[in-house]
Amino acid sequence: MAKRYKEPPVIEAICEFRFQPDPPWDLAIPGLLYSKLRDDFPKRRRASSHEATRLEGPEGIEQQWTQVEKLQLVQEDEKAIVQVSPYLLAVNRLRPYPGWEQFLPLVSKSLSAYQEVASPKGLQQITVRYINRFNLESSVPLEDYFDFYPFTGENLPQRIGSFIVGIQTLFENGRDVLQMEMHTVVSDDPDTYSIVLDLIYFLGQPGAVGFEDVFGWLDTAHSHIEDVFEGCLKELLRARFGEVVE
């Protein structure tokens, strides 16, 4: 059974679906989705983001940035958000994170509503992402708190300032990928380290999961993320969250 904490470090959980670009995008879809979800997400607002696309050109792989316009459907307390743009649906849950058992029904309802109004032919990509933030005293050795952290050998400087470190690991016979990334962010307190642990689980084989299997995939993704999250932490750090013993 997964551990539960009184004050979990999750600052945002995200579930994102990218759909096959067929049939042609209908500009009415965001409004139709809002009409389906407005009881749970009464607020709506426009937002934009920049997304990278990797293209093969005569000089090799090139990265192009495109501005994407999104409609955000927002809960009354603004703790949960549904985002929709051409062939993309994302559900975001901000702190305080209520747990997978409450987050998953929001994802299910949002995906079902999108299927009703957009009639997508298939899934191209699925991603589950958990962003965790830890505030630690800058003097503490990271290895006392984490089993995943930047390492420098004895002949290298030992006083680490800002950093970024990441790896990717394969799951489910190579079908899925989990990306682990840890980096520092600016802290309001000069004596405090603010460290982000970003866990991103996604399909390594785009299109390998159909709508009929999507919720089994989501449960598998969440289970692997939980295991890896626990594997990253040592007991000294867990004690700061206040484990719930039932």
Question: Which of 121, 150, 174 is the last residue in one of the domains?
Answer: 121
Per the structure, the complete domain to which residue 33 belongs is given by 7-121
Residue 108 sits in the same domain as residue 135: no
Examine residue 246 and state whether it is found in any structural domain, yes or no. Answer: no
Task: Report whether pLDDT(56) > 80.
Answer: no
49 in any annotated domain: yes
Name the token pair of 231: 């594997």
Domains: count for the chain: 2
| 133 and 108 within one domain | no
pLDDT 10s digits, 152-183: 888 887 777 789 999 999 999 999 999 999 99
CB 52 within 8 A of CB 65: yes
Q: Is 148 helix (H, G, I), strand (E, B) or coil?
A: coil
* Strands 176-185 and 123-137, bridge-based pairing: unpaired
Classify strands 10-19 and 80-85 as parallel, antiparallel or unpaired: unpaired
Strand segments, DSSP code E, in the chain are: 10-19, 43-57, 60-74, 80-85, 88-94, 123-137, 164-171, 176-185, 192-203
Specify whether 172 is located in the same domain as 79: no
Q: Show which of 105, 121, 137 is a domain's final residue.
A: 121
**Is 179 a domain residue?**
yes
Distance CA 217, CA 79 (A): 25
Q: Are 73 and 84 in contact (CB under 8 A)?
A: yes
In a domain, 177, yes or no: yes
Q: Is residue 133 part of a domain?
A: yes
Identity of residue 99: G
pLDDT, tens digit, 9 for 90 and up, residues 135-145: 988 777 889 99
| Mean pLDDT across 58-85 | 83
Q: Do 133 and 236 share a structural domain?
A: yes
Last residue of a domain, one of 121, 153, 173: 121
78 found inside a domain: yes
Within this chain, do residues 111 and 139 fall inside the same structural domain, yes or no? no
Residue 186 lies in a domain: yes
Block residue for tokens 């495109």: 66
Q: For the chain, give the percent of residues with pLDDT over 90.
A: 71
User: What is the average pLDDT across 108-112?
Assistant: 98
Tell me the C-alpha distance between 74 and 241, whole Å. Answer: 28
Same domain, 49 and 65: yes
Report angle CA 71, 77, 83 to the nearest 5 degrees: 20
Taking the whole predicted model, whether its pTM rises above 0.95 is answered as no
Residues 163 and 185 in one domain: yes
The pLDDT of residue 246 is 63
- Tell me the longest C-alpha to C-alpha distance in the chain: 62
In this predicted structure, what is the pLDDT of residue 191?
Answer: 77
Same domain, 76 and 106: yes
b/e for 201-224, b at 16 or more Cβ within 10 A? bbbbeeebbeeeebeebbebbbeb
Task: Identify whether the C-beta of residue 12 lies closer than 8 Å to the C-beta of residue 91.
Answer: no
Comparing 33-37, 136-140, 198-202, 224-228, the range with the smallest average pLDDT is 136-140
End-to-end CA distance of the chain: 11
- Looking at the fold, whether 117 and 164 belong to one and the same domain comes out as no
Residue 50 lies in a domain: yes
